[in-house]
Structure 1
Amino acid sequence: MLASREALWVSLQIGGPALVAMLLVGLAVSVFQALTQIQEASLGFLPKIGALAGVLVLLGPFMAGVLRGYAEGLFLTIVAVGGAP
């Protein structure tokens, strides 16, 4: 139970910022398209890719640290359960 809760928390920490950034960019582009009546498909796609790249550049070290900490905790738990000396 604890491992699954920790896995959900880690996935929220890693995926959350990227999803929120893409949601906000998508909302802004949708409002822009509605106001200007420009219905170009690439206009909605390209800014999202840019936002995702920016989030990954800014928060990449944090995400890697979270994954490293989670993996380290899992390995320590496996060793503790296995009873290795």
Structure 2
Amino acid sequence: MTQEMVLGWAEQGVLVTLLISGPLLITALIIGLAVSIFQATTQIQEQTLAFIPKIAGVLIALIVFGPWMLTQLLTFAESIFSNLYQFVG
């Protein structure tokens, strides 16, 4: 196993991690920004107000993007296990 192979697998692993976590993080960011704007305009300074909309939004995004995320993860795992013979020796 060469250094280029290790770096390639590490790069692909980081890319898959970013792809899988991206939709959930972007959803939480957009909802947090919307709640912050709402709090600024209404002058409600309750810090716990953002938690419930974020949790609900991330849950909905997980339901919507879940099959795609699972497909990406399974494809990466399958490519690792199918090339397992390259890692030994």
- Same fold (TM > 0.5): yes
- The total of aligned residue pairs comes to 83
Q: In structure 2, how many angstroms separate the alpha carbons of the residues matched to 1:81 and 1:42?
A: 48
How far off its partner does 1:82 sit? 3.4
How far off its partner does 1:79 sit? 2.4
Structure 1 residue corresponding to 2:73, chosen from 49, 52, 67 = 67
2:82 aligned with 1:57, yes or no? Answer: no
Q: CA RMSD in A?
A: 1.3
> Identity percentage over the alignment?
41
2:15 aligned with 1:9, yes or no? Answer: yes
By relative contact order (CA 8 Å, sep 6+), the higher-ranking structure is: 2
Q: Residues 32-67 of structure 1, C-alpha deviation per residue, up to 9 Å, x if partnerless?
A: 000000112221111100110011000101111111
Structure 1 alignment gaps of length 5 or more: none
Runs of 4+ aligned structure 1 residues displaced above 3 Å come to 80-83
How far off its partner does 1:80 sit? 3.6
Scaled by the length of structure 2, the TM-score of the pair is 0.87
Structure 2 alignment gaps of length 5 or more: 1-6
Q: Secondary structure at the match of 1:39?
A: coil
